[in-house]
Amino acid sequence: MNPEICIVCDGEIFEPAGTHSGYSLFHCLQCGLRFTHPIPGAAEIAAIYTEYGTNRSYAAKAERKIRRSMKRIRRYMNRGPGKRFLDVGCNVGTAVEAARRLGLDAHGIDIGDQSIEIAREMFPGGHFHAGPIESLPPEWGQFDFVYSAEVIEHLPDANAYFNALSLRIKPGGLLFLTTPDAGHWRVPSEFTKWDQVFPPHHLLYFTKDAMRRFLDRHGLEVVKFEWKLKPGLHAIARRR
Ligand SMILES: [Zn+2]
């Protein structure tokens, strides 16, 4: 069954982009998005995340990850209107800890209960919440700097996620988002040979054009894309 409409650009013209692990991929010819279609059901997706990214060996690498995040956050932290930081998909909280060390009021949310438990244990200076973005406590309000690293490619409904997420960014506030870059010159011409193609974990594969359009439809304007030697898309965007 062919897709009907592109979730990013409302385009209706697609070409097949191969199959991987039994999943079919399509390519939107208007914006360049590649995506798994049909999107696997909620139960199928929940099953693969029962132990995803929540093991304690992750914690051992924490210090290196904190330093890397500090470098990233320091580049942009003063371009937002204030000091409230939120990492959406924070895992065990290393970027939250990085933000806290830089003097930001640091918050993190993750769907993994176990990750949040580890985060609270390791980084008591941060504020953590377990659950989807829609469940973020209302009293947490809006943020000046929202971080979303390697999350969007996993989502069965990226528009629902961004409907909730963009409301949590203050007007004038910044979003720092990373995801694999399907338009990068190092991506193999036979798309499914790319090592980032592994459905059902990765469902969406953005190009810069697709990301610009996607953020625009959620009220965010791209400030810049960082230049990357490897096929990673790092976008900085500002909420209108
Ligand atoms: Zn499209």
pLDDT 10s digits, 17-46:
999 999 999 999 999 999 999 988 878 887
Q: How many angstroms does the Cα of residue 36 sit away from the middle of ligand 1?
A: 13
pLDDT band, residue 136 (cuts 50/70/90): very high
Q: How many angstroms does the Cα of residue 91 sit away from the middle of ligand 1?
A: 30
Q: How many angstroms does the Cα of residue 35 sit away from the middle of ligand 1?
A: 10
pLDDT at 55 over 60: no
Q: Which pLDDT value is given to residue 57?
A: 66
Q: What is the 3-state secondary structure (H, E, C) of the chain?
A: CCCCCCCCCCCCCEEEEEEECCEEEEEECCCCCEEECCCCCHHHHHHHCCCCCCCCHHHHCHHHHHHHHHHHHHHHHHHCCCCEEEEECCCCCHHHHHHHHCCCEEEEEECCHHHHHHHHHHCCCCEEEECCHHHCCHHHCCEEEEEEECCHHHCCCHHHHHHHHHHCEEEEEEEEEEEEECCCCCCCCCHHHCCCCCCCCCCEEECHHHHHHHHHHCCEEEEEECCCCCCEEEEEEEEC
- Which residue is listed with tokens 């029962």? 50
Q: How many angstroms does the Cα of residue 83 sit away from the middle of ligand 1?
A: 35
Q: How many angstroms does the Cα of residue 194 sit away from the middle of ligand 1?
A: 20
In the chain, pLDDT over 90 holds for what percent of residues? 87
Would you give the end-to-end CA distance of the chain in angstroms? Answer: 37
Q: How many angstroms does the Cα of residue 109 sit away from the middle of ligand 1?
A: 29
Q: Which pLDDT value is given to residue 122?
A: 94
Q: How many angstroms does the Cα of residue 89 sit away from the middle of ligand 1?
A: 25
- Answer whether 238's CB lies under 8 Å from 172's CB: yes
Q: How many angstroms does the Cα of residue 4 sit away from the middle of ligand 1?
A: 11
> What does the pLDDT average to over 62-85?
92
Per-residue pLDDT tens over the stretch 80-128: 789 999 999 999 999 999 999 999 999 999 999 999 999 999 999 999 9
Q: How far apart are CA 126 and CA 49, in angstroms?
A: 24
Q: How many angstroms does the Cα of residue 64 sit away from the middle of ligand 1?
A: 37
Q: How many angstroms does the Cα of residue 72 sit away from the middle of ligand 1?
A: 29
Q: Which two tokens stand for residue 231?
A: 């096929």
Q: How many angstroms does the Cα of residue 176 sit away from the middle of ligand 1?
A: 22
Burial degree of 156 (CB within 10 A; 0-12, 13-18, 19+): middle
pLDDT band, residue 1 (cuts 50/70/90): confident
Q: How many angstroms does the Cα of residue 116 sit away from the middle of ligand 1?
A: 35
Q: How many angstroms does the Cα of residue 153 sit away from the middle of ligand 1?
A: 15
Q: How many angstroms does the Cα of residue 30 sit away from the middle of ligand 1?
A: 5
**Which of 131, 127, 132 has its CA nearest to residue 104?**
127
Residue predicted with more confidence, 180 or 52 = 180
